[in-house]
Amino acid sequence: MSKYKVDITNLNTNDIKVLKQSEMIELFKRYQAGDESAKEELILGNLKLVLSILKRFNKEKYNMDDLFQVGVIGLTKAIDNFDLSYDLKLSTYACPLIIGEVKRYIRDNTPIRVSRSIKDLAYSIIKYKEDYVKTYGVEPTNQNIAEALDIPEYQIHYALESQREPMSIFEPIYNDGGDTIYLQDQIADKKENNQDKDMLISLRKALNKIKERERNVLISRFIIGKTQMEIAESLGISQAQVSRIEKNAISNVRRLIK
């Protein structure tokens, strides 16, 4: 679990009041008797509970202001439905509701839309795996999961893959100290008939003026559609070397067609 401090815009966390249990009980009695101001005091007095839960989430990946607002919604729902007769602490009751609201928000706001049924299945699989590990101390097999949830085994991988974050084609995947290789360099270009004819003529002239190896790499990459890895294997060199040749070739072509 992350231990960083959660910073929320326009909120000084040092000024947040923390209620004592006796104070909360009194406020709940007032709120449940119809005093709406007591509800506001209960929310403000438990904001640090929301902040403590947000520490579980990566602040580099998620907007903490958004998650905080969502977490407060979960806290508010907990306060609205809390029953003093069960002799529970509010934090015990509220934590699952706050976490649930935050996770639901994250799930529903991923860049790629996934059907709710697939998302629900993924979370059922994750929960089953967690419970299984707690009980038996080992990960369940796909067969265990399939039998327990009454689903075909192939759906397990499909559902869990839906939870993965999409990767940018500009994501660096290798760096040898000087030349960075990006995900897009691993993807073959399958586009056809999409180049402007005048530009194609200019490029052909420029290609005839650069080194043969540079020309062959550019043709393989952008006309044939090979990946850098495929070119590296055919030339017997490393992918990093292909990346350097490609960058030099592009630079030379740009200079020649100006």
Of 142, 161, 180, the position where a domain reaches its end is 161
Q: Is residue 8 part of a domain?
A: no
Q: Is residue 62 part of a domain?
A: yes
If asked whether residues 209 and 129 sit together in one domain, one would say no
Would you give the DSSP letter of residue 61?
Answer: T
Name the residue with higher pLDDT: 51 or 107.
51
If asked whether residues 18 and 101 sit together in one domain, one would say yes
Q: Which 3 state secondary structure label does DSSP give 33?
A: coil
What is the residue-wise DSSP string for 102-169? HHHHHHHT-SS---HHHHHHHHHHHHHHHHHHHHHSSPPPHHHHHHHHT--THHHHHHHHTTSPP--T
Please name the helix (run of DSSP H) or strand (run of DSSP E) that holds residue 72, with its range, or none. Answer: helix 64-81
Please name the helix (run of DSSP H) or strand (run of DSSP E) that holds residue 77, with its range, or none. Answer: helix 64-81
If asked whether residues 182 and 249 sit together in one domain, one would say yes
What is the count of structural domains for the chain? 3
d(Cα 100, Cα 102) in Å, to the nearest integer?
5
d(Cα 229, Cα 154) in Å, to the nearest integer?
30
pLDDT attached to residue 176: 57
For the chain, percent of residues with pLDDT exceeding 70: 76
Average predicted confidence (pLDDT) for the chain? 80
Residue 24 sits in a domain whose CATH number is 1.20.120.1810
Q: What is the pTM of this model?
A: 0.44
Q: Which domain holds residue 155?
A: 116-161
If asked whether residues 103 and 148 sit together in one domain, one would say no
Q: Is residue 2 part of a domain?
A: no
If asked whether residues 197 and 131 sit together in one domain, one would say no
If asked whether residues 129 and 89 sit together in one domain, one would say no
> What would the mean pLDDT of 203-224 be, rounded to a whole number?
81
Q: Is residue 186 part of a domain?
A: yes
If asked whether residues 143 and 192 sit together in one domain, one would say no
Of 108, 124, 150, the position where a domain reaches its end is 108
Q: Is residue 217 part of a domain?
A: yes
d(Cα 104, Cα 110) in Å, to the nearest integer?
10
Q: Is residue 192 part of a domain?
A: yes
Report CA dihedral (216, 221, 224, 227) to the nearest 10 degrees.
Answer: 120
If asked whether residues 182 and 212 sit together in one domain, one would say yes
d(Cα 47, Cα 57) in Å, to the nearest integer?
16
If asked whether residues 149 and 202 sit together in one domain, one would say no
Q: Is residue 4 part of a domain?
A: no
If asked whether residues 57 and 144 sit together in one domain, one would say no
76-87, pLDDT tens digit by residue? 999 999 988 888
Residue 131 sits in a domain whose CATH number is 1.10.10.10
* Integer CA distances (angstroms), 246 to 116, 177, 186, 220, in order: 43, 17, 13, 10
d(Cα 226, Cα 221) in Å, to the nearest integer?
5
> What would the mean pLDDT of 135-143 be, rounded to a whole number?
90
d(Cα 57, Cα 114) in Å, to the nearest integer?
21
Q: Is residue 243 part of a domain?
A: yes
pLDDT above 90 for 37 = yes
Would you give the DSSP letter of residue 8?
Answer: B
pLDDT attached to residue 113: 61
- Report which listed range, 8-22, 120-134, 179-193, is most confident: 120-134
